[in-house]
Structure 1
């Protein structure tokens, strides 16, 4: 019993000596807990200003909390003199990070690209974008991918890494779209007069923006006619922008055709017809 009591007394003395360190380590954990919560809230407030979904915002908030709190655990272990355990945690975490990095390289790349896009914000929900031949309106933005709906109703999920590393076209960022079409008139017609007539008509059309102003240019010569190209701008209707631009373009093309015809301009109507001629073998018999 004497030996047992001596051992108990020894360990109790050791415990009393460690009490200040234990209290300091516990205080450190409490401080890092509140620091982690504050960091999580701050980061979530920043991400709330981005187009990311609430699930992604919550995920990154928890990730920030875990990172900050783990740092607090390592600091607390060092305060208690458990440097070996702290070093083991860091080493294990580093090895795990390397293994996961190689195993999920593509997924990690997309998450990182989505993280950078959260701050650069090259587009938002409802924008019409195009990348690598995929063109459509943005439906939803996630960290790993962006949901795009094309004009023919196809839902495409584009990886974030592609959006940040490949050329990206945003057709609605400044709220303006430019359209154009080409019409041909006869070589004997006055091109300056034709351009002036078309421009006057464009200036009176309420659907055509006047800043930037519409223009008409001579853009080519063909064997049968002179090419005039009409350029015009419209203010984007986000909900129906593709249909809106196509509708206005079709209307302007028909209006321009009628306008030039009413002003006695001539359109080319020359048609070349290809005829296949097959050889016909005829045998002539002399009956004389």
Structure 2
């Protein structure tokens, strides 16, 4: 019994000695491919850092490159060990598994692929104010699977990348220029041309309003009870200082004050007109 065990151990040892060079060679080839993968990934990451804004996509491509090159190294390593059929089976099985997972997680994969292309499209960046499918907000992060935006009222929304990639996208701050607008109604007894001049002067004298592109005030509609004027002006959101909402608020305040000082009567779509022409005294007149 001991003799048989000894013979088996000797035979096993001889087999190990015979196959040891192949094992070492296959390990060398596998380590070589891993090293090449890391080297290639480092080079790809260096190139992407100059074009991609998201560190997430750079890290993703880097890891993907390492894994792909390393998997390619498994094939020659198995062939050196005389396991070529095993390598073919692994590749075929891996392809089948990839197909199954592709169908099972189609939407997840679609979002990842869309996120990949969004990173390079540069249609928007972190900090931009965008709209997609009626969802508006400032872009906080751009991930592979989703885009995180925050609405003006502080709500965090995570939009799937595929939705943004396939739907029309509105970028309100690509060049920093925004054009807020608001409407005001004056009584038919007042001169609309003079009101346009008053509103335009008040708008241009507001801090934060750009001179180029210039502000414009137009008669936008003739309502049943009042003449509607629309004030349009431009703001550069890239400039430090007041925010867009603050500048818009100041413009409305200045326009309201200017119309009041010039004895204009504010009107609305209700049956009463508010007359601000008497200083601090309000006079309410009712339409018949």
| TM-score over 0.5 (shorter chain) | yes
1:150 & 1:240 partners in 2: Cα distance? 21
How big is the shift at 1:25? 6.4
How big is the shift at 1:122? 2.5
Residue equivalent to 1:197: 198
Secondary structure (helix, strand or coil) at the match of 2:233 reads: strand
Residue equivalent to 2:54: 52
Q: How many residues align?
A: 261
Q: Unaligned regions of 5+ residues in structure 1, if any?
A: 274-288
The answer to whether the Cα contact below 8 Å between 1:33 and 1:69 also exists between their aligned partners in 2 is yes
Residue equivalent to 1:116: 117
Secondary structure (helix, strand or coil) at the match of 1:153 reads: coil
Q: Structure 1 residues 191, 272: closer, same or farther in 2, change over 3 A?
A: closer
Secondary structure (helix, strand or coil) at the match of 1:130 reads: strand
The reply on whether 1:127 has 2:109 as its aligned counterpart is no
How big is the shift at 1:251? 2.2
The two structures, once aligned, show a CA RMSD in angstroms of: 3.5
Residue equivalent to 1:263: 262
How big is the shift at 1:264? 3.6
How big is the shift at 1:97? 0.4
Residue equivalent to 2:227: 226
What TM-score comes out, normalization by structure 1 length? Answer: 0.75
1:270 & 1:64 partners in 2: Cα distance? 64
Q: Structure 1 residues 266, 154: closer, same or farther in 2, change over 3 A?
A: closer
Q: Structure 1 residues 239, 161: closer, same or farther in 2, change over 3 A?
A: farther
How does 1:199-214 map onto structure 2 within 5 Å? 199-214=200-215
1:240 & 1:90 partners in 2: Cα distance? 59
Q: Unaligned regions of 5+ residues in structure 2, if any?
A: 1-6, 273-288
Q: Structure 1 residues 269, 101: closer, same or farther in 2, change over 3 A?
A: closer
The reply on whether 1:248 has 2:250 as its aligned counterpart is no
The answer to whether the Cα contact below 8 Å between 1:130 and 1:136 also exists between their aligned partners in 2 is yes
Structure showing greater Rg: 1
The answer to whether the Cα contact below 8 Å between 1:51 and 1:141 also exists between their aligned partners in 2 is no
